[in-house]
């Protein structure tokens, strides 16, 4: 974290035009652990100019040159694993095992996926006498969130580099430390000056300037649906491409033949993982009405098994939520569940016992939730599970689809064909059958207000490419 007081522009670490420092708060202790220097509009302009200047040469690099660069980045990333783990632990409060085995590991996995996609991707196809070619879209503004900081950075920077684009990365101001180390990795790996640039700061100032900049050709944004709408409006005046991966309120349908001992346990863990701060978390558990008490008892046992506490302890399975504002939001939504008549199974308001400081949330389970309650409509982004009863498969599908979101969904049945049929009826970009995890090579993204476009693998690479038709390319 040696460069938190600098920006990375045009291959150099530079000071912001308007020097000032902002405290970084460790969510586990509420204490300041570092300071960082945010950018201003002038810094955005410098970074965009550097990326624009570098684009012509980098766009002409060969597949082999880009593969060599990405492999060098992977090697450097591996060497900096311990530093990245420490950064994620401090800025997110992620438990040590989660930080190492999932948070930091996810960034590496998706850098490797960019390499795999680039190795075999067919940029040119011929249709008769016409060449259809895919070319880098240009200068890209990449805006990433705090909940999975390295995964999201890798899912944007990796394919952008593979495509031949230049870029400006603006990570969340809540999680700038891991992004700063990531920039150090790219510098050490030999990314040419101007190809990758790092700015820091908030959305209303720095993000707005980046998204609306006329020399930015594409914006790739991951974050809340509310902010995604703001981003789309800011980008509209210049008609740039806008790729967005936004919020979710994912249903988890357990059919009546499912093994609840396994399925509820799996679903509850998936909901609570990363302190509930995952856009694709299965936060709405849909169960046959007559089996709701059974599901609630299993979910209660899982919530009460979790060890909430100090992230450095190897016994800890759940850390705090990432910041004070998020803690307040989660508390408010738990309160709404109580006020609107949901039955509290376990958890509830306030911190867990014996934790007097830190943004820790009690793992919470509600039952008797109906789909018009706030806790069933809003993305909570905390360790809160809502159990919704249903009477028929058609009703379950209706409840699942009755949401403005459409990111992910889950179906469990002893009959795979039955689960497959339900999956085809769900209005979501992703469906997990019988607990199967995500495939890192498969497209990640959603329907409706969960965004547009896809990330990961070949599908993520194609988001950074333009299509060109060259007529008469082959002439006899």
Question: Catalytic residue among 86, 91, 173, 245, which?
Answer: 245
8 Å CB contact between 89 and 311: yes
Query: How far are the Cα atoms of 184, 189, 195, 211 from residue 77, in angstroms, in the given order?
Result: 10, 9, 18, 28
Pair of tokens at residue 78: 């591996």
Phi and psi torsions of 435, nearest 5°: 80, 10
CA separation for the pair 259, 3 (Å, rounded)? 51
Question: Catalytic residue among 155, 165, 279, 379, which?
Answer: 279
DSSP string for residues in 347-411:
--SSPPTT--SS-----EEEES--TTSHHHHS---SSEEEEEEESSHHHHHHHHH-SS--SEEEE
Concerning whether 279 is annotated as a catalytic residue, the answer is: yes
Residue 104 is classified by DSSP as I
Sheet holding 284-288, edge to edge: 343-346, 364-367, 384-390, 284-288, 251-254, 408-412, 430-433
- Beta-bridge partner residues of 344: 366
Concerning whether 165 is annotated as a catalytic residue, the answer is: no
Residue keyed to tokens 């890798």: 154
Helix, coil or strand: residue 139: strand
- Please give the positions annotated as active site: 245, 279
């Amino acid at each position: 974290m040696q460069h938190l007081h600098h920006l990375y522009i045009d291959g150099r670490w530079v000071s912001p035009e308007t020097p000032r420092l902002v405290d970084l708060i460790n969510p586990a202790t509420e204490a300041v652990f570092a300071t960082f220097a945010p950018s201003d509009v002038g810094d955005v302009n410098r970074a965009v100019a550097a990326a624009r200047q570098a684009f012509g040469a980098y766009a002409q690099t060969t597949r082999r040159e880009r593969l060599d660069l990405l492999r060098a980045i992977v090697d450097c990333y591996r060497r900096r694993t311990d530093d990245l783990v420490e950064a994620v632990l401090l800025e997110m409060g992620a438990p040590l095992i989660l930080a190492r085995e999932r948070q930091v590991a996810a960034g590496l996995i998706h850098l490797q996926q960019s390499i795999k996609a680039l190795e075999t991707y067919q940029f040119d196809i011929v249709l008769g006498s016409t060449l259809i070619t895919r070319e880098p879209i240009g200068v890209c503004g990449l805006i990433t969130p705090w909940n999975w900081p390295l995964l999201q950075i890798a899912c944007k920077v990796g394919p952008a580099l593979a495509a031949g684009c230049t870029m400006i990365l603006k990570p969340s101001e809540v999680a700038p430390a891991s992004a700063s180390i990531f920039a150090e990795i790219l510098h050490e790996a030999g990314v040419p000056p101007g190809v990758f640039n790092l700015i820091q700061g908030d959305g209303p100032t720095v993000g707005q300037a980046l998204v609306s900049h006329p020399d930015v050709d594409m914006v790739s944004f991951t974050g809340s649906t509310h902010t995604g709408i703001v981003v789309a409006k800011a980008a509209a005046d210049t008609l740039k491409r806008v790729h967005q991966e936004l919020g979710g309120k994912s249903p988890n349908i357990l059919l009546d033949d499912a093994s609840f001992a396994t399925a509820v346990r799996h679903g509850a863990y998936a909901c609570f993982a990363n302190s509930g701060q995952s856009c694709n978390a299965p936060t709405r558990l849909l169960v046959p009405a007559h089996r709701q008490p059974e599901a609630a008892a299993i979910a209660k046992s899982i919530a009460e098994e979790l060890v909430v506490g100090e992230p450095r302890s190897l016994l800890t399975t759940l850390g705090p939520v990432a910041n004070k504002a998020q803690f307040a939001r989660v508390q408010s939504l738990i309160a709404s569940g109580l006020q609107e008549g949901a039955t509290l199974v376990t958890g509830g308001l306030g911190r867990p016992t014996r934790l007097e400081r830190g943004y820790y949330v009690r793992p919470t389970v509600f039952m008797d939730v109906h789909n018009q309650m706030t806790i069933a409509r809003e993305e909570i982004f905390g360790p809160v599970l809502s159990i919704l009863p249903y009477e028929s498969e058609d009703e379950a599908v209706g409840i699942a689809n009755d949401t403005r979101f459409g990111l992910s969904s889950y179906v469990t049945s002893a009959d795979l064909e039955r689960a497959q049929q339900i999956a085809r009826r769900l209005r979501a970009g992703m469906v997990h059958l019988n607990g199967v995890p995500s495939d890192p090579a498969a497209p990640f993204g959603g329907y409706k207000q969960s965004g547009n476009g896809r990330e990961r693998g070949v599908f993520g690479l194609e988001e950074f490419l333009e299509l060109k038709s060259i007529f008469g390319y082959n002439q006899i």
